[in-house]
Chains A and B, each alone.
Chain A
Amino acid sequence: MSPSAPILAVRDLRVGFATEGGLVQAVDGVNFELRPGEVLAIVGESGSGKSVTAQTIIGLTRSSNARIEGSVELDGEELIDASDATMRQLRGERIGMVFQDPMTSFNPVYRIGSQIVEAIRAHRGDVGKDEARARVVELFDSVGIPNAERRVDDYPHEFSGGMRQRAMIAMALALEPEVLIADEPTTALDVTIQAQILALLGELNRKRDLATILITHDLGVVAEVADRVLVMYAGKVVEKGTLDEIFYDPQHPYTWGLLGSLTRLDRPRPKRLPQISGSPPSLLALPDGCAFRPRCPHEFAKCTELPDLRERITDAPGHCDRCWLDPEEKRAKRQVEGQIGLEAPA
C-alpha cells in the first residue's frame, strides 16, 4: 500500500437522533482515513452505528431530529456543513453507493439501463442519450453482465439478485467516483454469487484505484477483501487495525467474541459453538464505561471508566483499541481451546 494522501478523512464524527425515549447517540466519535485503492471494512452488529456512519458521510442522515458533529473531508473539502445541492452533486459523482437490497434500489417501472442513463445525464448535462447508453453497455460489460447490449433494456424484475447487484455496482461506478461505499453488498445474495461480487469489487479496487468502505457483519467477507478493519460496538469504534492485526492479534474482547463465534469449515467442529452471552445494549441505556462490559467475562474494576481508543501495544502502530486489560494478559485470555475466542462467563 502506498502512503498516498487520504481521499476521505472522518474525524470525531458523532451522530445523534432525538427520539421519544431521549437522544440516541448512534455514532459516538468515529475517526478514520481512507486512501485511494484501499478497502476499509466497518464491522459490527445491528445498532453498532456502521450504516449510520456511512450514510452520514454522504449526507443521508440529515434531518431535523439528527445532530451531526465532527468532520468529513473529501479530498480536503468539508462535507458536514456542505449545502444539500453540493451533496447531491457529489453523490454518485465522487462517492458511489451500493446498498444491501438490490431489489428496492431500482425503480421497478423503468428499464434498468435508462435509470443509469438518467443518473449519468443528471450529472453530465453534455452527454447525449446515445453516448450515455453506450457508456452503460460498457459498464455492464465491465461488471460481468452478459449480453450487455440487450440487458440494458430489461426491467429490474428481469434481473436475478446477483445481476441486479452488478447493475447497482455499474450505476455506482457510472460517474467514476473516487470513493465507493458498499453497505452489506452481498448479504442478500447466495454464497456462490457473493464470491463473484466480492471478486468483482476487489478487481475494481485494484484497476481503478477506488477507495472503498465496506460495511458488513460477516468477517468471512472482510477476510476476502479488506485492507483495514474498524470494529464498532454501540456507536463507538472498539478496535481498529490492519486486516491481519484484527484477525491474528485482536485486542478487544468483543473482537475475540466475533472471531470465536464463527462456524469454520476449515477447522474441526467444536462440541459447542463459542458464544457471546447477552445481547447488544440499548443505545438509550448504555452502561457506564465500556459498553461491552455487561457481556464481557474479563470485566474488572477499571471497566466502569470509559477506555479511550488508542495504541496499547508497542509493536503495531495504528492498531488501536478500547480495552483496559494489559496486552500480555489479553494474549493469554483470548486463547480458548487453542483458538481465539471469548471465554464462557463464569
Chain B
Amino acid sequence: MATEPLLEVTDLVKHFPVKRGILIDREVDQVKAVDGISFSIPRGQTLGLVGESGSGKSTACRAVLQLIKPTSGSVKFEGQEIAGFSRRRMRPLRREMQMIFQDPYASLNPRKRIGQIVGDPLKRQGVASGSELRKRVNELLDRVGLQTEHYNRFPHEFSGGQRQRIGIARALALQPKLVIADEPVSALDVSIQAQIINLLDDLQDEFGLTYLFVAHDIGVVRHISDRIAVMHDGKIVEEGSADQVCERPVDSYTKKLLAAVPIPDPRESRDRRAGAPASS
C-alpha cells in the first residue's frame, strides 16, 4: 500500500498582475487569487474545497493542473514535482488527471457527436482506435447511465444532467487517477444533482478514483468529501474531516459560512431566526 498521497500541494501561490499604462505596462498591483495554500489527498479519497465566489478555488484547480502557471509553490503528483511543467511535459500526465467542468452547456463542443466527444481523449492519447474505440466509448456511456443509441447524437439533444454524464464519461475515458471536479452539480436541477453525486460516488468506489471536489455548496461538499478545506481570500482558513468542519468548525469564517446555509426545515429556521436576528 502506497503511503504517499496522490496529490500534494505545498505553498501554492498564484498572483495575477494588475497593469496600467499604454506604452509601458507598469505593474501597479497584484490580485492574490491563490495565496499560499497547502493540502494533500490520499489515494481513493476526496478533498472538498469550498468557498464563495472570488475565494480562489477555481484558480487553485487550474494551477494544480498546470493549466495556468503557478507563481510559486510545489505540486507533487505521485511524488513527482509538476509545478512549472511545460505543456509538452504535462501531456503524458494529462491521462492521469482529468477535469469535470461546471457548465455542461459550455464544456461540450456543439458540433461533435457524443461518441467523438467521449472517444477523443482515447484517440489523442493513442489508446484505442476503430472498433476498439467504439466499444470502449459504449462501455463508458453505459457506465455513466447513457445508452448506446446516444453515440451519434449531438450535445444539444441532451438535458443538463445527461450532458454532465457525458462530461464525466469523457473525464473517465483515460482511466485517470485524479479527477478535479469544479462545481460539477451547481448548474443542475435539484433532483438531478443527487443522481450525479451518487454516480461520482459509485465511480470512485469502482475505479479507486481520487477527487478534488470544488463547490460553493457546503452541503454537497460535505456529502461527497472525506476532508474539507475552506478557502477565503486565496487562503485555506480551515481544513479537517468533513464532519468536523461542518459540525465543529473552528475558524470564524467557516462558522459564518455554515450559519448562512439555509436549513430546509421551517421549525429549525424559525428557531435560528429567533435565536440570532439576522443582520439587514
Contact = CB atoms under 8 A, between A and B. Distances in A.
B256 A192 contact: yes
B177 interface: no
Given A144-B280, A261-B190, A192 B219 contact: no
A45 B53 contact: no
A273 B191 contact: no
B162 A279 contact: yes
Interface string B256-280: 1111111111111100010000111
B217 interface: yes
Contact of B189 (A46, A244, A248): A46
Contacts of A244: 266-267
A195 B273 CA distance: 11
Given A219-B264, A243-B266, A259-B264, A265 B189 contact: no
Interface stretch (A75-83, A95-103, A221-229): A221-229
A318 interface: no
B114 interface: no
A247 B52 contact: no
A339 to B, nearest CB: 11
Contact of B194 (A45, A161, A276, A279): A276
B236 to A, nearest CB: 18
Contacts of A262: 190, 219, 264
Contacts of B257: 191-192
Interface string A158-191: 0001000000000000000000000000000011
Nearest to A247: B266
A265 B219 contact: yes
A322 interface: no
A208 to B, nearest CB: 14
A199 B279 contact: yes
B161 to A, nearest CB: 6
Interface in A266-284: 266, 269, 272-277, 279-280
A200 interface: yes
A203 interface: yes
Interface size class of B (residues with CB under 8 A): 35 or more
Interface string B188-200: 0111111101100
Nearest to A218: B262
B27 to A, nearest CB: 23
B238 interface: no
A203 B193 CA distance: 32
Contact of B261 (A191, A219, A280): A191
Contact of A263 (B217, B259, B280): B217
Contacts of B198: 272-273, 275
A181 B28 CA distance: 44
B235 interface: no
B274 to A, nearest CB: 13
Interface string A116-148: 000000000000000000000000000010000
B218 interface: yes
Contacts of B162: 279
Interface in B174-227: 189-195, 197-198, 201, 216-220, 222-223
B159 interface: yes
A259 B265 CA distance: 10
Interface string A202-240: 010000000000000111111110000000000000000
A219 B260 CA distance: 14
- Among A190, A200, A263: residue with most chain B CB under 10 A: A263
A199 B272 CA distance: 12
B190 A223 contact: no
A266 B262 CA distance: 10
Nearest to B277: A199
B246 interface: yes
A224 B190 contact: no
B169 to A, nearest CB: 17
A243 B264 CA distance: 11
Given A191-B257, A272-B201, A223 B263 contact: yes
A87 interface: no
Contact of B262 (A144, A198, A276): A198
A191 B261 CA distance: 6
Interface in B136-162: 159-162
A222 B266 CA distance: 8
A223 B201 contact: no
A190 B219 contact: no
Given A263-B217, A263-B222, A272-B201, A224 B256 contact: no
A275 B189 CA distance: 12
- Among B160, B190, B217, B258: residue with most chain A CB under 10 A: B190
Given A194-B260, A265-B258, A223 B266 contact: yes
Contacts of B242: 269
B167 to A, nearest CB: 16
B191 A265 contact: no
14 contacts: A190-B216, A223-B263, A223-B264, A223-B266, A247-B265, A261-B191, A263-B217, A263-B223, A265-B261, A275-B194, A275-B195, A276-B195, A279-B191, A280-B159
4 interchain residue pairs of minimum CB distance:
A220-B262, A263-B219, A199-B278, A275-B194
